[in-house]
Amino acid sequence: MPPIRPHGTGIIDLPNQWRVAAIDQVAPMRLPTGALMCTPDHFDIIDVKNPHMAGNLGAIDRSRARRQWESLGSAFGHACLRVDVIPSILGCEDMVFCANPVFTGLDVDGHRVCVPARMRHDSRQRETPALVAWFQNAGYSVHTVATSLFEGGGDAVWHPGRRLIWGGYGHRTDPAVYEELGPIFQAPVIRLKLMSEHFYHLDTCLCAVDENTALINPASFDESGLGLIRSVFKRVIECPADEAIGALACNAVATASGAVILPAGAPRTAGLLTKAGYSVIEVDTSEFQKSGGSCYCMKMWLW
């Protein structure tokens, strides 16, 4: 494996393939400026796509969900993110989790790009054309991938401030997609195999808090994945296992302002983040956690 150059692409799966001495040798990329949210009007649980959904069929309190969704939007605003909203579609019960139907970012020329996902479950596939149309209308160019399983920003996570993608796979995403995604963005991709059913998207077990810091659930990764995370992030905050699973505490949103929007119900994680210098904004997302999603899943980055 040749060294990863600042503008290099390439797939990195093993710690000893990472030859960059420091993350600051990777090309910089500015941070996102906003968050697109999807209204929860048609949010429901009609099947079991992940273990969090088991036993929760039909158990959504819609008005409570609406209030929680609005609090999350206000928290994004407080954390200096511009919020845009796309209406949900009748029959798209999971569309509120708009981290999945596409992946967005900037190409090397700074142009905004949207890559449509190829969702695993039939009932979620209708979300993608709606999101793609929204982004096209907003001026993003669309680059498609041929690999058949890819769940967008749920599995592909930008390294904050750098042209580097962390690529989760194993449940909803085929690792081959990253061979297509890297060249679109001229970004190296560090692939991480997801080891547990409860942490089926990368954003459920890794939060890239800032350029040097990650919040992770260690048990979600194999040794090689953990080695990669520890070799790139200078500081790795380990989320207590019960809060990672019970409160989806790693599904947090960190912003340039130093705020971390954290699912409520994770007091020890909140304490660790506060001690590390972040200002934690806790948001109750209990209705959405019944479906296996929380703060990070309920937005798509805007650039």
Could you write out the three-class secondary structure of the chain?
CCCCCCCCCEEECCHHHCCCCCHHHCCECCCCCEEEEECCCCCCCCCCCCHHHCCCCCCCCHHHHHHHHHHHHHHHHHCCCEEEEECCCCCCCCCCCCCCCEEEEECCCCCEEEEECECCCHHHCCHHHHHHHHHHHCCCEECCCCCCCECHHHCEEECCCECCEEEEECCCCCCCHHHHHHHHHCCEEEEEECCCCCCCCHHHCEEEEECCEEEECHHHCCHHHHHHHHHHCCEEEECCHHHHHHCCCCCCEECCCCEEEEECCCHHHHHHHHHCCCEEEEECCHHHHCCCCCCHHHCEEEC
297 classed as catalytic: yes
Does 154 sit near ligand ARG (CB under 6 A)?
yes
Backbone torsions φ then ψ of 134, nearest 5 degrees:
-60, -45
Site membership for ligand ARG, residue 99 (CB under 6 A):
yes
Nearest CB to ligand ARG, comparing residues 44 and 282:
44
Residue number with the smallest Cβ distance to ligand ARG: 154
Q: Taking the complex as a whole, how short is the minimal distance between the CB of residue 84 and ligand ARG, in angstroms?
A: 18
Stretch that binds ligand ARG, among 22-30, 31-39, 62-70, 290-298 (CB under 6 A): 290-298
DSSP 246: H
Stretch that binds ligand ARG, among 173-181, 230-238, 254-262, 287-295 (CB under 6 A): 287-295
Minimal distance in Å, beta carbon 86 to ligand ARG? 16
State which residue, 14 or 46, has the beta carbon closest to ligand ARG: 46
What's the CA gap between 111 and 242, in Å, rounded?
41
Q: Which of residues 183-212 bind ligand ARG (CB under 6 A)?
A: 201, 203-204
Q: Does 291 bind ligand ARG (CB under 6 A)?
A: yes
Among 68, 88, 100, 220, binds ligand ARG (CB under 6 A): 100
| Active-site choice (52, 171, 198, 201) | 201
Least distance (Å) between residue 180 CB and ligand ARG: 20
> Taking CB under 6 A as the rule, does residue 253 contact ligand ARG?
no
The reply on whether position 161 binds ligand ARG by CB under 6 A is: no
From the list 114, 207, 250, 297, the catalytic residue is: 297
Q: Does residue 292 belong to the site contacting ligand ARG (CB under 6 A)?
A: yes
201 is catalytic: yes
Query: Could you say whether residue 36 binds ligand ARG (CB under 6 A)?
Result: no
Catalytic residue numbers read 201, 297
Which residues in this chain contact ligand ARG in the complex, by CB under 6 A? 49-50, 53, 94, 97, 99-100, 154, 201, 203-204, 291-293, 297
